[in-house]
Amino acid sequence: MDIQLQKKSVLLMIFLTIITYGIYIPVWFLNRKNVFNNLNSKEKINKGPIIFVLVLFIISAIILIPSILFMGTEIGAMIDGADSIINLVGGITMLVMAFKVRRIMNEHYKTNLSAAATFFFSFYYLQYKINIFLENK
């Protein structure tokens, strides 16, 4: 079933995250949702939270322009504050999704992926482990 999982360069993922202003993160989860849900695990991923974060990160990218235009003003500070809240909510939601994928992979591969690495490196760590699982297949 995990034949659908694909190797991907973690360095490329970091680059894509930077140039898309974080939008690549929920896209990664969304593109792999069905693959993870087909793995042998009781845990399943719902696309609702992923779409929610995708919308949040798109809004964050859009308000980057007014944030720059109004830098140093009260309006700019308000926009920055809203952007910080958006990114905090989105980041926490993606972290929860990363731990859900970790549980799916642990159950399917009969392994114990690092909780610390999942916390600090999130989907980059998960993709790194996917790459290793596919190489050792």
Please give the average per-residue pLDDT across 67-82, as a whole number: 93
Which candidate, 75, 53, 49, places its Cα nearest to that of 63?
75
CA distance 35 to 58: 24
Taking only Cα atoms into account, the Rg of the chain, rounded to an integer number of angstroms, comes to 17
Q: Is the pTM of this model over 0.85?
A: yes
Asked if the structure places residue 1 within a domain, the reply is no
List the domain range (segments joined by +) for residue 76: 7-34+41-135
User: How crowded is residue 95: how many other Cβ atoms within 10 Å of its Cβ?
Assistant: 14
CA distance 61 to 73: 19
The chain-wide mean pLDDT, for the chain, equals 94
Asked if the structure places residue 96 within a domain, the reply is yes
Whether residue 111 is predicted with pLDDT greater than 50 in this model: the reply is yes
Total structural domains within the chain: 1
Please give the average per-residue pLDDT across 49-68, as a whole number: 95
Whether residue 42 is predicted with pLDDT greater than 90 in this model: the reply is yes
Length of the chain: 137
Asked if the structure places residue 20 within a domain, the reply is yes
Asked if the structure places residue 88 within a domain, the reply is yes
Amino acid at 73: T
* Phi, psi for 113 (deg, rounded to 5): -65, 150
Residue 137: pLDDT band (50, 70, 90) is: confident
